[in-house]
A and B are shown apart, each in its own frame.
Chain A
Amino acid sequence: MSNAAITLDRLGLSFVGADRVTPIFEAFDLRVSRGEFVAIVGRSGVGKSTLLRILAGLAKPSAGRFDLALSDKKGTRPIALVFQDSRLLPWRRILANVELGLEGLGLSKQDRRKRAEDALALVGLADQAGKWPHQLSGGQRQRVALARALAVDPDLLLMDEPFAALDAITRRFLQDELLRIRAATGKTILFVTHDVDEALYLADRVVLLAGSPARARLDRRIDAAHPRARDAVASSDLAQDIHRALEV
Chain B
Amino acid sequence: MTDAALPSLSQTPSRSRAKGPWSLGKTALGLAGLAIFLLLWEAAPGFGLISPLLLPPPSSLPGAFWRDLQSGAWHEAMFASLSHYLLGLALGSGLGVGLGVWAGVSPQFEAATSYIVRILRPIPGLAWVPFAIIWFGVSTGGATFIVAVGVFWINFFAAVAAVQAVDRDLIEVADAFGHRSIRAKLAKIILPAAAPGILGGLRTGLGQAWMAVVAAELFGVPGLGQRMMQASSLLATEIVVVYMLTIAALYGLCDYLFVLWRDALLKWKP
Rounded to whole angstroms, the CA-CA distance of A93 and B266 in the bound complex is 12
A219 proximal to B (CB < 8 A): no
Interface size on A, residues (CB 8 A): 24
**A152/B177 in contact, CB under 8 A:** yes
**Within 8 Å of chain A (Cβ to Cβ): is B73?**
no
* B169 with A90: CB separation less than 8 A: no
A203 at the interface (CB under 8 A from B): no
Distance in angstroms between the alpha carbons of A104 and B183 in the assembled complex: 12
B175 within 8 A of A: yes
If over half of A's interface residues share one DSSP class (helix, strand or loop), that class is named, otherwise mixed; here it is loop
- Quick check: A87 and B169 within 8 Å, CB to CB? yes
7 A-B pairs whose Cβ atoms sit less than 8 Å apart in the complex: A57-B175, A58-B172, A77-B177, A80-B176, A92-B268, A101-B178, A104-B178
Output the least CB separation between B207 and chain A (Å): 26
Partner of A101, one of B177, B266, B268, B269: B177
Q: Is B193 an interface residue (CB 8 A)?
A: yes
When the two chains form their complex, are residues B270 and A100 in contact, meaning their CB atoms are under 8 A apart? Answer: no
Complex: A186 Cα to B2 Cα, angstroms: 64
* Most chain B beta-carbon neighbours within 10 Å: one of A56, A83, A91, A92: A91
Q: CB-nearest residue of chain B relative to A79?
A: B176
1/0 per residue, CB under 8 A from B, across A74-88: the answer is 000101110101010
The A-contacting residues of B in range 180-198, CB under 8 angstroms, are 184, 188-189, 192-193, 195
Please tell me if A134 contacts chain B, counting CB pairs below 8 Å: yes
Question: Given the complex of chains A and B, what is the CA–CA distance between A100 and B179 in angstroms?
Answer: 9
Within 8 Å of chain A (Cβ to Cβ): is B170?
A: yes
- Give complex CA distance A87, B269 in Å: 16
In the complex, are the beta carbons of B268 and A87 less than 8 A apart? Answer: no
What's the minimum C-beta distance from A57 to chain B, rounded to whole angstroms? Answer: 7
Chain B interface residue bracket vs A: 20 to 34
| Extra inter-chain contacts (18) besides given A58-B176, A148-B177, CB under 8 Å | A56-B175, A57-B175, A58-B172, A77-B177, A77-B178, A79-B176, A83-B169, A87-B169, A87-B172, A89-B188, A89-B189, A89-B192, A90-B269, A93-B268, A104-B178, A104-B179, A134-B268, A134-B270
Chain A residue with minimal CB distance to B191? A91
Give the residues in chain B near A77, CB-CB below 8 Å. 177-178
Closest CB in chain A relative to B169 CB, distance in Å: 6
CA distance A17 to B173 in the complex (A): 25
Given A57-B175, A100-B188, also A85-B268 (CB < 8 A): no
Q: Which 4 pairs show the lowest CB-CB distances between chains A and B?
A: A101-B177, A134-B270, A91-B192, A91-B268
Bound-state Cα–Cα, A82 to B251, Å: 48
- Complex: how many Å from CA A92 to CA B192? 9
A132 beta carbon closer than 8 Å to chain B: yes
Contact indicator A58/B189 (Cβ below 8 Å): no
Chain B residues positioned under 8 Å from A90 (CB to CB): 268-269
For window 37-60 of B, CB contacts with A under 8 Å fall at none
- Closest residue of chain A to B169 (Cβ to Cβ) is A87
The one of B173, B184, B192, B193 in contact with A87, judged by C-beta atoms closer than 8 angstroms, is B173
Chain B residues with Cβ under 8 A from A132's Cβ?
Answer: 268, 270
A103 sits at the interface (CB 8 A) = yes
> Are A56 and B176 in touch, CB under 8 angstroms?
yes
Chain A residues within an 8 Å CB radius of B172: 58, 87
> B268 and A100: CB pair below 8 A?
no
Instruction: List B residues 115-136 near A (Cβ within 8 Å).
Output: none
Contacts of A56 in B (CB 8 A): 175-176
Report the minimum CB–CB distance from A131 to chain B (whole Å): 10
Known: A91-B195, A103-B188, A132-B268. A83 touches B178 (CB 8 A): no
Q: Give the chain A neighbours of B174 by CB distance below 8 A.
A: 100
Decide if B177 touches A80 in the complex (CB within 8 Å). Answer: yes
Residues of B within 8 A of A80 (CB): 176-177
The answer to whether residues A83 and B173 also contact, given A89-B189, A91-B193 and a CB cut-off of 8 A, is yes
Binary flags per residue of A36-74, CB closer than 8 Å to B gives 1, else 0: 000000000000000000001110000000000000000
CA distance A90 to B175 in the complex (A): 17
Contacting pair B176 A104 (CB below 8 A): no
Bound Cα distance from A109 to B193, whole angstroms: 23
Q: How far is B179's CA from A105's CA once the two chains are assembled, in angstroms?
A: 10
Closest CB in chain A relative to B40 CB, distance in Å: 48
Q: In the complex, what distance in Å separates the CA atom of A134 from the CA atom of B178?
A: 24
